[in-house]
Amino acid sequence: MKIIDGKALAAKLQEELRVRVEGMAVKPALMVILVGDNSASQVYVRNKARAAERIGIKSETLFLPESTSEAELLNLIDKYNADEQWHGILVQLPLPAQIDEDKVLLAIDPNKDVDGFHPMNMGRLWTGQPVMVPSTPAGVMEMFKAYDISLEGKQAVVLGRSNIVGKPMAQLMMDQNATVTLCHSRTQGLKAICQKADIIVSAIGQAEFVKADFVKEGAVVIDVGMNRNAEGKLCGDVAFDEVAEKASLITPVPGGVGPMTITMLMKQTVTACERLTAGFDNERVDK
């Protein structure tokens, strides 16, 4: 078993981004909008701000009260869409109940959608023409690349079908010629499906759900989950200690996928700046 060190890989990639930004005539700028006082979101936003500072990206966070209306938020998004000094706009999820999340994601300019959640960017991903890609799946793909994990012809299982992780993860792996089974809460015979997988990516949000008997010897196991176990300890979807005995490569929680998610968000902010200053309009750029 070998641990995939997401923290170390993120640090390496962030240093490469810092050098890249240093040579840019126009410095990338990211506007983050946080509505309400969700504690997990606040921590994530702080980590984003620190990463941006290390890399040399201008980053501001707009803190809005829980009572903010949908119209107020949409007006702000329109304002930053039109403001050329901002290359990336990120609205931190989840949003309060009075705000329609779909309307908010649709309102962000696809060229500034560094989270990759706009339907246009999702559609481009599914048609093999990615521009902006959700950061967590993009980070997992960087892990595969860094650790020489070939997806060609492999049997892969993705647990979870969210638009943020599961669906884009499946598509990105298919783009690399993996055969992907996308599983979810209604999947029958889930354990048997997982047992055949060369690669498992779990993003279901259930603490230590994936046990050793889900995993065949030598499989690669990527844990996207971020949960608390019965003792209140931070853990992933995978029962790490027992699965690590069978896996050839495995990500820990924390220190696995999490740092890569933030890093890929920064990378897409840099790319958005390069594209916007060069006059691109939602066309594919491989960066």
- Whose structure tokens read 């998004």? 77
Query: Which position among 5, 14, 58, 92 bears the catalytic label?
Result: 92
Cα distances (Å, whole numbers) of residue 228 to 40, 46, 136, 237, 239: 12, 21, 20, 10, 12
- Whose structure tokens read 């606040």? 42
- What gap in Å lies between CA 13 and CA 250, rounded to an integer? 20
**Active-site residue flag, 195:** no
Q: How, if at all, do strands 155-159 and 88-91 pair?
A: unpaired
- What gap in Å lies between CA 111 and CA 167, rounded to an integer? 21
**Active-site residue flag, 115:** yes
Cα 179 to its chain centre, rounded Å, is 21
Of the candidates 200, 195, 204, 191, the one whose C-alpha atom is nearest the C-alpha of residue 249 is 200
List the binding residues.
160-162
User: Contact 166/155 with Cβ under 8 angstroms?
Assistant: no
107-116 exposure pattern, b = at least 16 Cβ within 10 A, e = fewer: bbbbbbbbbb
**Sign of the torsion formed by the C-alpha atoms of 128, 133, 137 and 139:** positive
Query: Which position among 5, 113, 115, 223 bears the catalytic label?
Result: 115
Query: Which position among 48, 58, 112, 167 bears the catalytic label?
Result: 48
The catalytic residues are 48, 92, 115
